[in-house]
């Protein structure tokens, strides 16, 4: 019988290797895993039961809320609040930080999540995902929770990952010791280790961006796209363009095959001058995974993980993936800003 490590076993083995580990993280992770299974079950039934379409409400991002979005949010809120190890949570769907009520046991961890990213793809049976990012509070547990406990730099994440509801359901995460992927075996109801120690190819061959918005980009960003499409780039031929419009799916493909995901700043909407993706619940966790797999993530000027968040729903330009490709983006932006200074 082949060796089949479950995600719980993997976390427990790691816990044993961390001196002073209390089991709190394991408890939190178990609730995340259970939530992922429950959400996956609902996603798999979409089309058969009444979970497609809109709830009729609009979320904090000004987007219409999908029924599955709302369901996933409720599952995560309920389960994670009962882990007994969190002091606060934040969701892409909620305007503010949610403190765990005093009536429930609490701990030092903080989780930020996007319950169902790519939800415009739900009704057409295209891959969607859950993204999460975990921190430890910095202030004393006796003191009142500070916004700085939740708004930490991405480099302070203790763990991050995503669940991809695709041709199979996969959980990919890092606790700072590399990236590991587990596939849900529906016959036993367990996530089994299928992709140990994932490394992103140093040189990519795919670029993923919503090219339809090119006319709204600045000159640097247009140069970046021209580079990936040029036969004179590092590959000596144009990269393949692949864009699903579902961050988890686009990121996951590029993680395994090598490539770069881009959501640059654009001038379409004056309310969103720094792009669409949110630093805390989308970019930071993906940047953490990318770096742990040997890749990079930048906003064009500084590493995503070094950005000090100003508010919970902050948006940043995002370039993330294979090391050589992201370095090229940084070079193009740096040369442009050097040129601007000279002019
Ligand atoms: P939705 O959840 O509204 O579908 O947005 C998904 C997303 O946040 C991210 O998953 C995609 O990469 C990106 O937006 C797609 O945005 P565009 O449709 O503007 O390309």
* Nearest one of 179, 178, 189, 52 to 116, comparing CA atoms: 52
Residue 1 predicted with pLDDT over 60: no
Nearest CA to ligand 1 atom 2: 118
Residue 177 predicted with pLDDT over 70: yes
Residue 86 predicted with pLDDT over 60: yes
Q: What is the mean pLDDT of residues 299-325?
A: 97
* Ligand 1 center to 146 CA (angstroms): 30
Residue 171 predicted with pLDDT over 60: yes
* Residue 152 beta carbon below 6 angstroms from any ligand 1 atom: no
Q: How confident is the model at residue 102 (pLDDT cuts 50, 70, 90)?
A: confident
* Residue 269 beta carbon below 6 angstroms from any ligand 1 atom: no
From 118, 119, 249, the mutation candidate for ligand 1 (largest count of ligand atoms within 8 A of CB) is 118
Q: How confident is the model at residue 335 (pLDDT cuts 50, 70, 90)?
A: confident
* Residue 63 beta carbon below 6 angstroms from any ligand 1 atom: yes
pLDDT at 119: 85
pLDDT at 73: 95
pLDDT at 308: 97
Integer CA distances (angstroms), 82 to 19, 96, 185, 204, in order = 25, 19, 26, 41
Residue 16 predicted with pLDDT over 90: no
* Nearest one of 192, 204, 191 to 295, comparing CA atoms: 204
Under 8 Å between Cβ of 153 and 305: yes
Q: Of the given ranges (12-26, 99-113, 184-198, 241-255), which has the lowest mean pLDDT?
A: 12-26
pLDDT at 257: 98
Q: What is the mean pLDDT of residues 281-296?
A: 98
pLDDT at 141: 82
From 43, 243, 276, 313, the mutation candidate for ligand 1 (largest count of ligand atoms within 8 A of CB) is 276
* Residue 208 beta carbon below 6 angstroms from any ligand 1 atom: no
Residues 6+ apart with CB under 8 A from 299: 307, 316, 317, 318, 319
pLDDT at 20: 65
* Ligand 1 center to 144 CA (angstroms): 35
Nearest CA to ligand 1 atom 6: 118
For residue 210, give the ligand 1 atom closest to its CA: 20
Nearest CA to ligand 1 atom 7: 118
Q: DSSP assignment, residue 283?
A: I
- Return the percentage of the chain with pLDDT > 90, whole number: 77
* Residue 69 beta carbon below 6 angstroms from any ligand 1 atom: no
User: Could you give the CA distance from residue 197 to residue 2 in angstroms, rounded to a whole number?
Assistant: 18
pLDDT at 67: 85
- Return the percentage of the chain with pLDDT > 70, whole number: 92
pLDDT at 45: 84
pLDDT at 287: 98
Q: How confident is the model at residue 256 (pLDDT cuts 50, 70, 90)?
A: very high
* Residue 119 beta carbon below 6 angstroms from any ligand 1 atom: yes
pLDDT at 140: 86
* Ligand 1 center to 24 CA (angstroms): 33
Torsions phi, psi of 4, nearest 5? -125, 100
Q: Of the given ranges (9-18, 118-127, 136-145, 220-229), which has the lowest mean pLDDT?
A: 9-18
SS3 assignment, position 262: strand
* Residue 278 beta carbon below 6 angstroms from any ligand 1 atom: no
* Ligand 1 center to 102 CA (angstroms): 35
Q: What is the mean pLDDT of residues 153-168?
A: 97
User: Could you give the CA distance from residue 274 to residue 282 in angstroms, rounded to a whole number?
Assistant: 14
Q: How confident is the model at residue 340 (pLDDT cuts 50, 70, 90)?
A: low
The reported pTM is: 0.93
Residue with tokens 């479950």, as numbered in its chain: 6
Nearest CA to ligand 1 atom 5: 118
* Ligand 1 center to 317 CA (angstroms): 13
Q: Of the given ranges (46-50, 159-163, 241-245), which has the lowest mean pLDDT?
A: 46-50
Give me the chain's average pLDDT, please: 92
From 247, 264, 268, the mutation candidate for ligand 1 (largest count of ligand atoms within 8 A of CB) is 247
pLDDT at 2: 58
Residue 343 predicted with pLDDT over 60: no
Question: Which tokens sit at 74?
Answer: 């409720």
* Ligand 1 center to 276 CA (angstroms): 8
* Residue 247 beta carbon below 6 angstroms from any ligand 1 atom: yes
């Amino acid at each position: 019988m082949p060796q089949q490590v479950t995600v719980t076993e993997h976390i427990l083995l790691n816990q044993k290797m961390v001196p002073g580990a209390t089991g709190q993280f394991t408890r939190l992770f178990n609730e995340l895993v259970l939530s992922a299974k429950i959400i996956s079950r609902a996603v798999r039934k979409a089309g058969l039961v009444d979970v497609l379409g809109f709830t009729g409400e609009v979320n904090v991002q000004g987007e219409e809320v999908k029924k599955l979005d709302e369901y996933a949010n409720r599952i995560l809120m309920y389960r994670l609040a009962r882990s007994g190890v969190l002091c606060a949570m934040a969701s892409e769907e909620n305007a503010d930080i949610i403190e765990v009520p005093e009536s429930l046991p609490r701990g030092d961890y903080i989780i930020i999540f996007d319950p169902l990213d790519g939800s415009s793809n739900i009704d057409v049976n295209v891959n969607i995902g859950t993204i999460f990012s975990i921190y430890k509070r910095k202030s004393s547990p006796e003191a009142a929770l500070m916004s700085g406990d939740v708004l930490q730099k991405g480099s302070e994440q203790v763990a991050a990952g995503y669940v991809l509801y695709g041709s199979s359901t996969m959980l990919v995460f890092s606790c700072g010791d590399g990236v590991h992927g587990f596939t849900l075996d529906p016959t036993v109801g367990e996530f089994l280790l299928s992709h140990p120690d994932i490394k992103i190819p140093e040189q990519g061959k795919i670029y993923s961006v919503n090219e339809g918005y090119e006319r709204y980009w600045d000159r640097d960003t247009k140069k970046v796209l021209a580079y990936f499409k040029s036969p004179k780039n590092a590959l000596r031929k144009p990269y393949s363009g692949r864009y699903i419009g579902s961050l988890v799916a686009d990121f996951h493909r590029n993680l395994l095959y090598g490539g770069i995901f881009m959501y640059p700043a654009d001038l379409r909407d004056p309310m969103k001058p720094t792009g669409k993706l949110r630093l805390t619940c989308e970019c930071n966790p993906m940047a953490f995974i990318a770096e742990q797999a040997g890749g990079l993530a930048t906003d064009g000027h500084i590493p995503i993980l070094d950005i000090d968040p100003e508010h919970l729903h902050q948006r940043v330009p995002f370039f993330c993936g294979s090391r050589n490709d992201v370095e090229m983006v940084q070079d193009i932006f740096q040369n442009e800003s050097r040129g601007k200074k000279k002019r």
